[in-house]
Amino acid sequence: MRSALTSVHRYNFHYDFVGITQSPRKFVHDDDAGTQMITWPRGSRPDPEHQMLYADEVMTGFEYAAAANMIARGLLEEGFRTVRAVADRYDGRLRTGLTPGDSASWGYSGNPFGDDECGKFYARSMSSWSLLLACQGFVYDGPARVIGFLPRWQPDDHASFFTAAEGWGLFTQKRTRGVTRVTLELRYGKLPIRTFVLQHTGVKTPQARVTLAGKPVKCSVEIAGDALRLKFSRSLTLKTGDRLDAVIN
């Protein structure tokens, strides 16, 4: 996956589209950057009858999905460059003169809340949500009462919004001198937890101290690859305003 995503960025991302064909629709100005759907870097491009109809187009939904996959696999520079290109294109400027008859038939806008992805306010652009999940390394299994975070973005000083089936809140993580401190604040709803998944500090026999609303909570610690699994002796249920704290060293 990592090598495939590296190739996608190397061969499909363009800093501008001067001289590059976009067909049958043109979503990107010549001086814009973007990631084209399909390229043939080593030649052997099939004839139009035997290739995907939208091969030459740029669609933001696919760009977001590719960028999230890059971030999830440690290709942060490539992923953020891909997303920045989309943000630069959709900064509020009215985008006209791309596809003939665009304003009447498709309603291209340039609105940052309505990427011109196969049409105005097309649902696939909501794949941008996956960028949050990739940056925070979100782990979640509601029925099993498992939630966790393996941040790719700023793991030493991380803060991000999260949602679960019945609640939402804020996760923070700070790492200094071999000690990791995390907090899980539930701002609304409820959140059942039996297992809390966090990043492995690298210590062979890590120790964890956990409190809920300031009161100690018993748990065991398991190492699973690059993750730690804190398993509580009983299922916990966080409610609005509750805060779960963990210190791992």
The 3-class secondary structure across 184-224, one letter per residue, is EEEEEEEEEEEEEEEECCCCCCCCEEEEECCEEECEEEEEE
The whole-angstrom separation of Cα 188 and Cα 238 is: 10
pLDDT at 45: 87
Comparing CA positions, the residue from 157, 163, 156, 158 lying closest to residue 140 is 163
The whole-angstrom separation of Cα 72 and Cα 130 is: 10
Comparing CA positions, the residue from 21, 17, 5 lying closest to residue 62 is 5
The answer to whether domain 137-248 has CATH 2.60.420.10 is yes
92: left (phi over 0), alpha (psi -120 to 50) or beta: left
Instruction: Report residue 170 as tokens.
Output: 């804020």
The whole-angstrom separation of Cα 70 and Cα 96 is: 31
Could you tell me the pTM of the whole model?
0.90
Q: How many CA atoms lie within 13 A of 187 on its CB side?
A: 8
pLDDT at 106: 57
H, E, C per residue of 232-246: EEEEEEEECCCEEEE
**pLDDT under 70 in the chain at which residues?**
100-109, 119
pLDDT at 109: 67
The whole-angstrom separation of Cα 225 and Cα 227 is: 5
pLDDT at 93: 80
pLDDT at 27: 87
Tokens 């008859």 locate to: 101
pLDDT at 189: 98
pLDDT at 205: 86
**Domain extents for the chain?**
2-132, 137-248
DSSP codes of every residue in 41-97: TTS-PPPGGGS-TTTT---HHHHHHHHHHHHHTT-HHHHHHHHHHHHHH-SS----S
Comparing CA positions, the residue from 249, 229, 247 lying closest to residue 181 is 247
The whole-angstrom separation of Cα 76 and Cα 68 is: 9
The whole-angstrom separation of Cα 112 and Cα 55 is: 24
